[in-house]
């Protein structure tokens, strides 16, 4: 599967953005798809993930209550709706997927085998 991320941009604190991750080559069926981000000068970190089998979602603590990950099987696309954005959310956001992510490892950057290009999100104060 190939992944194409889009939807980043510049937004004021408190604003919203929706990121999209479109898959090509094969469907997301059977995959766990995640959004991860890399803030400036920091390591890449987990944000959210969705298991297409069952639709279960997982979030890092800083994303809970503000971000929502969802999937549209008809469009073969995963979304990350980000509300109440903060300057500390500024990062390059990546979508990633894997067929073999175990639950205990879902927040690990190394658990994801296929990555899209990043999309820049900048939140101004």
The candidate with the shortest Cα–Cα distance to 36, out of 21, 52, 51, is 21
Instruction: Determine contact, residues 62/83, Cβ cutoff 8 Å.
Output: no
Mean pLDDT of the chain: 95
pLDDT reading at 90 higher than 90: yes
Give the number of other CB atoms < 10 A from CB of residue 39.
14
SS (H, E, C) 11-75: EECCCCEEEEEEEECCCCCCCEEEEEEECCCCCCEEEEEEECCCCCEEECCCCCCCEEEEEECCC
The percent of residues in the chain predicted with pLDDT above 90, rounded, is 86
∠112-115-121 over CA atoms, to 5°? 110
Question: What number is the average pLDDT over the span 23-45?
Answer: 93
Question: What number is the average pLDDT over the span 52-59?
Answer: 91
**Structure tokens, 91:** 């990062």
Q: Length of the chain, please?
A: 125
Distance CA 44, CA 96 (A): 12
pLDDT reading at 87 higher than 90: yes
Distance CA 100, CA 106 (A): 10
pLDDT reading at 3 higher than 90: yes
Alpha-carbon torsion angle 38, 41, 43, 48, nearest 10: -30
């Amino acid at each position: 599967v190939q992944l194409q991320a889009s939807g980043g941009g510049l937004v004021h604190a408190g604003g919203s953005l929706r990121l999209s991750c479109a898959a090509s080559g094969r469907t997301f069926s059977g995959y766990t798809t995640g959004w991860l981000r890399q803030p400036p000068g920091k390591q890449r970190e987990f944000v959210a993930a969705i298991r297409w089998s069952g639709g279960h979602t997982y979030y890092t603590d800083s994303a809970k209550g503000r971000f929502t990950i969802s999937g549209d099987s008809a469009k073969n696309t995963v979304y990350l709706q980000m509300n109440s954005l903060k300057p500390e959310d500024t990062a390059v956001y990546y979508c990633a997927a894997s067929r073999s992510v175990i639950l205990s490892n879902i927040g690990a950057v190394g658990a994801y085998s296929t990555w899209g290009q990043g999309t820049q999100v900048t939140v101004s104060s």
